[in-house]
Structures are given as structure tokens and as C-alpha cells.
Amino acid sequence: MSEFVSSNGYEECRATADWLLSSTKVRPTVGIVCGSGLGGLADMLKDPQVFKYSDIPNFPRSTVHGHAGQLVFGMLKGKPCVCMQGRFHLYEGYPVQKITLPMRVFKLIGVETMILTNAAGGLNKDFKVGDVMIIKDHINLPGIAGVNPLVGPNDDRFGLRFPCMSDAYDRKLGQLAHDVAAELGFKFVKEGVYCAVSGPSFETIAECRMLRTLGADAVGMSTVHEVIAARHAGMRCFALSLISNCTVMEYDSQEKANHEEVLETARQTAAQLEKLVSTIVARMEHSNTSF
């Protein structure tokens, strides 16, 4: 049997979901994925129950600095949530189906809405370091090259063979985010298109220019695969990018992208991002979107 079936099959996901359901009384309806340096979102959960990835059956392990590698269950603004403190990436060597296993497990434990965050490089020249971009759409470069979590036999228990992606990011939640940002006075909240690359090397100048020409406003190494798997399983998705560095577009520039800059920006902006996300969660029931 091929690797993608064994690394993301229904039975495997069901076994993981059943283990989690038997280990906690929390029944989350909201799932949150914390990007690089943004694990503080999980610290906002009330009465947290923490599981290390290494203790969860079938779960991959996060190997990246800035990703704690644990699942946190608890209440956020009165809503039961589960938080991933650390995600998985193609560049860690995992098959794309393994990277997205948590999305399918979340579906099986009752999650209906996914909120995903990441740290990304800004391609749009109007963006500044520290801005937060509401993702309205994505470009899946690995997917164009055939790296898609849905490749292989489709299991109808998860979703349809050919899921629509024109509505990948919930527009009502996007509008709610804009409304919340305006009420909080957060003028640094933008909107744009996120482009996923595989990493781990940062992009060349020519690649950044190409991505901007294609219509991307920010570039990163995550999120898109998770969104595809979540939408395939029928969950709503909302995603934010913290613009942690500005991509280099000019050959005479002395700037160089590095991971420490990403983490430092996340540390500086974490409080505002946590406030934004927690308020969105609190207000979900007051939006025009229903669970």
C-alpha cells in the first residue's frame, strides 16, 4: 500500500480522534493553528489540557524552532477550542498527507471552523513588517507541481473527490475580522493573496518578483495544504498572515531574510494578533455566519 494511504487514512485518523476524545472532556468546535512564534494564542485558553505531539497516536512531530509541538484543549471566550502550538511543513520531510492529518482528526472530533495563522514575507510594497494580512485567497505552488494533500484515492467519508476552492476562505469571517480590526483601531490589518512555497530556503529575488507578478501579496511555507484538507472535510477556514519580513526585490539591497527576524516580529506583534483572534472567536456567533 502506498505511503499516502497509510499516512492519512480514515482508520488512522479515527483512531487518533478516538484517543483524543477519550483523553479530554473538551469537545472543540473551533480549531486554531499557531504559526511561527505565535504559540501564545494557545496560552489564552482557559483550563487548558495539553498533549505533546509525541504522545498522540499517529501524530507527526514538529521540528522547527518557534513551534512548541503540542495540542492544547480549552475554552476561548466561552467557546471550546483546540490549538496546535506548532504545525508541520513539507520541508521537514513529511508527506503532504501527513502534514494535513491534524485537519482530518479535528473534523472527526467535531471542529467546524479552522483559524490558521502564519508568519509570511511581504511581497506587496504597501505592506510593512508587523502588518497582519487577512488571507482572501491563495496560490498553491507545490500543488501546481502535483504536491496536494488530496492526491491519491479519495475517501468519501472525508469529502468529495473534487472540492471547490473558490470559497476556500470564508468571506463572512473575513468581513467579521475587518469589523473587529476597525473597532479595535488596528490600522495594520490588510487583506491579500498568500502564496505557498515548499521551503526551507527563502525565495530568490527573481522568485519574489515572479510571485508578485502572479498576484501574491505574501509568501510562506505553510497553511495552504491545511486549508485544502480542511475544506475537503467541510470545515470553514479563516487565515491570517503576520508580515514578519519584507521580501528582497532589488539586487542592490543588503537585506537578507532569516528565521530569527520572523520570530522577533512575532514576539513584538503577538499581543495584538491574540486580541484580534480572540475577539473574532468571541464574536463569531454575532456574525452572519452560523456553525
Residue 36 designated active-site: yes
pLDDT in tens, the chain (291 residues): 334 444 568 999 999 999 999 999 999 999 999 987 677 888 889 999 999 999 999 998 877 765 578 999 999 999 999 999 989 999 999 999 999 999 999 999 999 999 999 999 999 999 999 899 999 999 999 999 999 999 999 999 999 999 999 999 999 999 999 999 999 999 999 999 999 999 999 999 999 999 999 999 999 999 999 999 999 999 999 999 999 888 888 888 777 777 676 677 777 788 888 899 999 999 986 444 433
* Sole residue written with cell 539591497: 253
Q: Residues 6 or more apart from 146 whose CB is under 8 A from it?
A: none
CATH (residue range 3-286): 3.40.50.1580
pLDDT confidence of residue 264: 74
Give the separation between CA 243 and CA 239, rounded to whole angstroms: 13
Catalytic residue among 114, 177, 221, 235: 221
Residue 194 designated active-site: no
pLDDT confidence of residue 189: 95
Residue 138 designated active-site: no
pLDDT confidence of residue 249: 82
Task: Tally Cβ neighbours within 10 Å of residue 130.
Answer: 16
* Sole residue written with cell 484538507: 229
* Sole residue written with cell 493573496: 193
Residue 232 designated active-site: no
Residue 89 designated active-site: yes
Catalytic residue among 10, 15, 68, 91: 91
Give the cell for residue 290: 452560523
Give the separation between CA 265 and CA 16, rounded to whole angstroms: 34
Which H or E run contains 248? Answer: none
Residue 221 designated active-site: yes
Catalytic residue among 62, 148, 245, 278: 245
Catalytic residue among 259, 261, 282, 287: 259
pLDDT confidence of residue 39: 78
Q: Residues 6 or more apart from 235 whose CB is under 8 A from it?
A: 31, 103, 106, 107, 111, 112, 113, 114
- Sequence ranges of the domains in the chain: 3-286
Question: Whose CA is closest to 86, among 42, 147, 132, 26?
Answer: 42
Residue 222 designated active-site: yes
Residue 198 designated active-site: no
Beta strands in 144-276 (DSSP E): 189-196, 218-220, 236-246
Q: ∠ CA(96), CA(98), CA(102), 5° rounding?
A: 115
| β-pair partners for 190 | 133
